[in-house]
Amino acid sequence: MKDLASTKERIEQLRSEINHHNYRYYVLDSPEISDAEYDELMRELEQLEEQYPQFLTPDSPTQRVGAAPVETFGVVEHPSPLLSLGNVFSKEELLAWYTRLSKLADRKQFDFVGEHKIDGLAVALTYVDGQLTTGATRGDGFRGENIT
């Protein structure tokens, strides 16, 4: 980026565009772009916010997951936050993540299972004595739609 003003403008543009696509995806269930295109927008925003932390704000799409639940179905508070998993797109990113994990856990070896990402609905199901008592979508990670 040429200067701070153009960087800030690009960050605001990305946030607006990502918020638009979040609304289309999470609320209207009618996405306009592919997951790969969305990931690229989010990735650019994350990189800019990392490079220019003075522009990072709590309301940035990089600081939350999902969207506020639609109140039509009722709202359920999650007992523990339902957060999102991060992505890696290259061997270098995977190795960087592994290095951070090794330092954090103070270990060098781990067992892993790798799976293809399958898009779908993230839900939290609560069972009491083998009976389903509550089903809720991820929503914003703290509150979801009641789908019981």
3-state secondary structure labels for all residues of 4-51: HHHHHHHHHHHHHHHHHHHHHHHHCCCCCCCHHHHHHHHHHHHHHHHH
CA 2 vs CA 5, 8, 16: distances in Å: 8, 11, 21
In CATH, the number for domain 1-64 is: 1.10.287.610
Q: Distance (Å, rounded) from C-alpha 13 to C-alpha 8? A: 9
Confidence band, pLDDT 50/70/90 cuts, at residue 6 = very high
Percentage with pLDDT > 90 across the chain: 42
pLDDT exceeds 60 at position 1: no
2 is catalytic: no
Would the pTM of this model clear 0.85, i.e. be above it? no
Report the C-alpha dihedral over residues 62, 19, 72, 136, rounded to 10 degrees. -30
Helix ranges (H only) for 52-90 are none
| Rg (alpha carbons) of the chain, rounded to whole number | 18
Confidence band, pLDDT 50/70/90 cuts, at residue 2 = low
The domains of the chain are located at: 1-64
For 106: left if phi > 0, alpha if psi spans -120 to 50, otherwise beta; the answer is left
Helix (H) or strand (E) holding 94: helix 91-105
pLDDT one-digit tens code per residue, 110-130: 888 777 777 777 889 999 999
CA nearest 75: which of 9, 141, 7, 5? Answer: 141
Catalytic residue among 2, 103, 108, 117: 117
pLDDT at 87: 77
